Amino acid sequence: MEIPYAVKPRPDTGLYNAKLGIWLFLASEVMLFGALFSSYILLRVNAEEGTWPHHWLNIWLGMTNTIVLIVSSVTVVLGWASLKMGRFHRYKFYQGITLLCALVFLGIKSFEYRDKFMHYEVHLKDGRIADGHLQPGTTKEKVVLEGRYVASHADLMEGKVHHEKEPILEIPRDQIVSMENYGPWHNTYTAIYFTLTGLHALHVLGGAIVIFAIWGPLARVWELDPERYTNRIEVSGLFWHFVDLVWIFLFPVLYLL
């Protein structure tokens, strides 16, 4: 006996199996990201006054990524509609754009991550703090940053919305007490930022791989069983929209507020 309702919907529920399956899976993902968002709120609300940073992320890059994901969501659903209309090549075109958007998103994200790892907070022996991006002139004897000096750690909490060029600072290593980049370990804000966006990026990657697999190597299923193929596009599309949905909340929460 074959497994019923794998492609055709069951009359009383109106669903085919994979559709129910993906929604159940998405429900669990809501709880996963929900727990992380709850952690974010908790950590932020309980943070000491003046210790939660603001505008440490480039909102223009974030906005670009938001637009990229929205476009990819539109193309995913247009691709599905094309299949419903029997227009396979049009679907291929739209889904190709989706995959391109995924690559762009991940590329921008990688750039942002690298930027954070290059951004250092250097505590000097004379009590000053140097804060900026590591420059190529850095050697064993000195650290070269493009940044600024501040008097205290609290001055670093407010970031800038528009980034202009900053002066080059040359700091001899023997003047340095400690030096740490803006990785997850830097404070709880960077910790939750990297965790939330990292997990999200893994979902973007995973979704893109599945969409690619169905678009590329598994495309011949369209010839054998178009309804089954269209269902796969719908199911993977639902996952992709969820990934977009999470970002719609991630962007303002991490970048803007």
At 136, is the secondary structure helix, strand, or coil? coil
Is residue 152 at the binding interface for another protein, with CB under 8 A as the rule? no
Using CB under 8 A, which residues numbered 109 to 138 contact another protein?
none
Using CB under 8 A, which residues numbered 157 to 186 contact another protein?
161, 183-186
Is residue 156 at the binding interface for another protein, with CB under 8 A as the rule? no
Whether the Cβ atoms of residue 179 and residue 122 lie closer than 8 Å to each other: yes
For residues 125 and 7, give the distance between their C-alpha atoms in angstroms, rounded to a whole number.
Answer: 69
Member of 10, 114, 160, 173 binding another protein (CB under 8 A)? 10
> Which range of residues in 23-31, 125-133, 139-147, 164-172 is near another protein by CB under 8 A?
23-31
What secondary structure, in 3-state letters, does 18-60 show?
HHHHHHHHHHHHHHHHHHHHHHHHHHHHCCCCCCCCECCCCHH
Considering the complex, what minimum distance in angstroms separates the CB of residue 115 from another protein? 18
93 or 212, CB closer to another protein? 93
Using CB under 8 A, which residues numbered 26 to 55 contact another protein?
27-39, 41-43, 45-48, 51
Is residue 151 at the binding interface for another protein, with CB under 8 A as the rule? no
- What is the token pair recorded at 219? 């495309």
Is residue 191 at the binding interface for another protein, with CB under 8 A as the rule? yes
- What is the token pair recorded at 146? 């493009």
For residues 190 and 152, give the distance between their C-alpha atoms in angstroms, rounded to a whole number.
Answer: 19
Using CB under 8 A, which residues numbered 77 to 96 contact another protein?
77-78, 81-82, 84-90, 93
For residues 53 and 162, give the distance between their C-alpha atoms in angstroms, rounded to a whole number.
Answer: 16
**DSSP string covering 224-251:** H-HHHHHHHHHHHHHHHHHHHHHHHHHI
154 or 168, CB closer to another protein? 154
Is residue 212 at the binding interface for another protein, with CB under 8 A as the rule? no
For residues 121 and 154, give the distance between their C-alpha atoms in angstroms, rounded to a whole number.
Answer: 12
Using CB under 8 A, which residues numbered 58 to 77 contact another protein?
59, 63, 66-67, 70-71, 73-74, 76-77
Using CB under 8 A, which residues numbered 216 to 255 contact another protein?
222-223, 226, 237-238, 241-242, 244-245, 248-249, 251-253
